[in-house]
Chains A and B, each alone.
Chain A
Amino acid sequence: MAAIVIDRVRKSYGALTVLKDFSLDIADGEFVVLVGPSGCGKSTMLKILAGLEAASAGTIRIGGRDVTDLAPGDRDIAMVFQNYALYPHLTVASNMGFGLKMRGTPADEIARRVGEAARILDVEHLLERRPRQLSGGQRQRVALGRAIVREPQAFLMDEPLSNLDAKLRVHMRAEIGALHQRLGVTTIYVTHDQIEAMTMANRIVIIKDGEIQQIADPETMFERPANQFVAGFIGSPGMNFLTARAEQGVAQLFGTSVPVPPGADGAITVGLRPEHIEAGDGPVTFVARPNLVESLGSEKYIYFAAPEDNRPPGFLTRSEEDRRGDRLIARLINSGPIRIGEPVTLSFDPARLHVFDPASGRAIR
């Protein structure tokens, strides 16, 4: 177990820069999730951490040791791959013991550690099978087992759940979380799924175009996003964005004056989460005509058009088709029956609003 320091790591392929001065301090035993849209550089960062790719600049320290120029095998880390990378010609036990065997560990020691890992992951009955005889979830467990028998300084996980079906993914998510609690090994986990990030991480690192957008615990990430990208990335369904003009600390929203932070002046982008809109009267009340209602049983998603003066950012630059489909979403719990086209009274608390600078996207507080 060890702390990991990533110091101004840069990676470019010719003229293309995929990571720009990436710096991150990870505490011993922490579970850090790197999350971002595909192509943002998160997997590249993980490969650089593992030593599978070389950084163009910067240093990496694991447990105080500079590993920047060390081979992957000398970094004392274990990695779990998206496709598990289990060797088809070896049994589960040999797969799990492979790393130890490569390091010349005595056979009885390997057997003992593989047995222990198999017990932790509940795959003892599978040890003599081949990977192709296992289900997706079992393969996933074996891949985790291969990582834990090594007793490494850190686990690196590259989208380990993306090949599982939705139900199993939820299950394995909890299992990986429990495993981390139990072993307390520093874990760096890469995913494009913000729900995985929110549910598993001690800290989330949101990356876009090779740059860190925000580093925070899940709660802060949700409550106080640093910019519009983070605000839109975290949360499902995504945050609603509206345009407004701020003058002397006040902006007009849905025909009502709402207070905005003092730093906001002129054109602003206002963010409002679907779950912060409620049915019935409240501090700011308005009437909407739903153009689509999705009922999920316990909750309803109401889609409706934004008022003329508060069209979402970029509204006019979109195609005719896009503009017609332009919708705000409210997520209502325990509302009465709601029908398409019939007026419904909705409200929100202006304290819940997020205000962003439309040019830079930065949050204004």
Chain B
Amino acid sequence: MAGGRFSLDLARPSRQHWLGYVLLTPAVLLIAAIIVYPLFVSIDLSFQNVGIARLDQPRRPFTLANYERLFSSPDFWNACWVTLKLILVVTSACCVLGLATALLVNNRFRGRSVARLLVAMPWAVPEVIAVVIFAWIFDSSFGLMNWVFLSLGFIDRTINWFSDPDAAFAVVATTMIWKGYPFVSIMSLAGLQSIPEDYYSAARVDGANALQRLRFITLPSLMPVIGVTTVLVMLWIFRDFSIIYVLTGGGPLKATQTLSIMTYEQAFSFFRMGYASAVGVVTLVICVVAAKLTMRRAPDTL
């Protein structure tokens, strides 16, 4: 009934914004159901003394006990410290490695497409598979890494990677870097390709050497991309669970227990869901603040 009195012609200019809302609705509902609602539930839970949360039970009385316990708990501060260490180490390593590989495969050479594929590959490997591979590489008895270190003469007896706190942290960090740098690579490569060739020509005529071209043209031009990418990598480390959980389970001696591992453990091992929700809420606040700070540092240049 096109043009009929009661037909709803969403293509009419005066109704075009309706069409927009109609098309948005499914996504909004989905996000509301799987992100916004659980978020409010967990904020609510964090203010209650709840063991196992059940939606069919009445609310418990409001309490700040979870937060009081949290901020006075050494476990919480340890988890914060581990998370911070992991973020500093993994983010900086991912940035350096990602940028370096991007610069490498941005050059023209034979087999460039294959090289680009190889650089991006760790990103395509499913996280759990990658973790299992690394668990074997760092196995104390049969692992590749001990064999390589022994053969090269770095060590004279095998390292027990998962019982030494520092070694376990190193294993977790290495795995995360391997899994995380290709993302920086891919983003940087896209950024590199959008830098006009003329900038480099002009710089060469001006007498800038390769290092100066990197310092004064490539890096500043990439800053917006690197800024956003750093935030995304950071958030990924904040929320990543499977790598640490499968490799070390947060141990030994909580040396690799990040905030997300702690949240999981409190909720599903000790069944203190109110307390776990409080950890989750604090993590969320830290994430938002950290992302804001990082984004502000990236100058908007273009």
CB of A52 within 8 A of CB of B302, answer no
Q: With contacts A81-B198, A83-B196, A85-B199 known, is A73 near B220, CB below 8 A?
A: no
Shortest Cβ distance from B205 into chain A, in angstroms?
Answer: 5
Q: Which of B205, B221, B223, B301 contacts A52 (CB 8 A)?
A: B205
Chain B residues whose C-beta falls within 8 Å of the C-beta of A47 in the assembled complex? 201
Enumerate chain A residues within 8 angstroms of B100, measured Cβ to Cβ: none
Does A37 sit within 8 A of B, measured CB to CB?
no
CA–CA, A50 and B301, complex, Å: 29
Q: Is the CB of A87 within 8 A of B199?
A: yes
Q: B residues 152-184 with Cβ under 8 Å of A? A: none
**B126 contacts which chain A residues (CB < 8 A)?**
none
Interface bits A65-79 vs B (CB < 8 Å: 1, else 0): 000000111100111
Residues from 106 to 143 in B contacting A, C-beta threshold 8 Å: none
Q: Which of B172-229 contact A (CB under 8 A)?
A: 196, 198-199, 201-209, 212, 216-217, 220-221, 223
A125 to chain B, nearest CB (A): 22
Q: Are B207 and A102 in contact (CB under 8 A)?
A: yes
**CA gap between A71 and B221 in the complex, in Å:** 24
User: B204, A71: Cβ atoms under 8 Å?
Assistant: yes
The answer for the CA separation of A103 and B204 in the assembled complex, in Å, is: 12
Given contacts A81-B198, A88-B302, A89-B223, contact A98 B216 (CB under 8 A): yes
Contact A98 B301 (CB under 8 A): no
* CB contact between A73 and one of B196, B206, B217, B221 (< 8 Å): that residue: B206
| Contacts known (A88-B302, A98-B216); A103 close to B196, Cβ less than 8 A | no
Closest to A100 in B: B206
Tell me if A331 is interfacial: C-beta within 8 Å of chain B: no
Known: A85-B196, A85-B199, A89-B301. A79 touches B205 (CB 8 A): yes
CA A103 to CA B209, docked complex, whole Å = 10
Residue on B nearest A130 in the bound complex, by CB: B301
Contact across chains for A85 and B207 when beta carbons are under 8 A apart? no
Are A73 and B201 touching (Cβ within 8 A)?
Answer: no
How far is A332 from B301 in the complex, measured between Cα atoms in Å? 54
Interface residue? A208 (CB, 8 A) = no
Considering the complex, give the chain A residue whose CB is closest to the CB of B217.
Answer: A87
Given A85-B196, A88-B301, A89-B301, are A73 and B207 neighbors across the interface (CB < 8 Å)? yes
- B205 adjacent to A83 (CB under 8 Å): no
- Cα(A85)–Cα(B199), bound, Å: 5
What's the nearest-Cβ distance from chain B to residue A44, in Å? 13
**How far in angstroms is the closest Cβ of chain B from A25?**
23
Instruction: Give Cα distance in the complex from A128 to B215, angstroms.
Output: 21
Indicate whether A63 reaches chain B with its CB closer than 8 angstroms: no
Pair B207/A99 contact, Cβ less than 8 Å = yes
Interface residue A150 (Cβ < 8 Å from any Cβ of B) = yes
Residue of A nearest to B207 (CB): A73
Could you say which residues of chain B place their CB within 8 Å of the CB of A51?
A: 204-205
Q: A87-B217, A89-B301, A102-B212 are in contact. Are A52 and B204 (CB under 8 A)?
A: yes
- Which residues of B are at the interface with A, using a C-beta cutoff of 8 A? 196, 198-199, 201-209, 212, 216-217, 220-221, 223, 299, 301-302
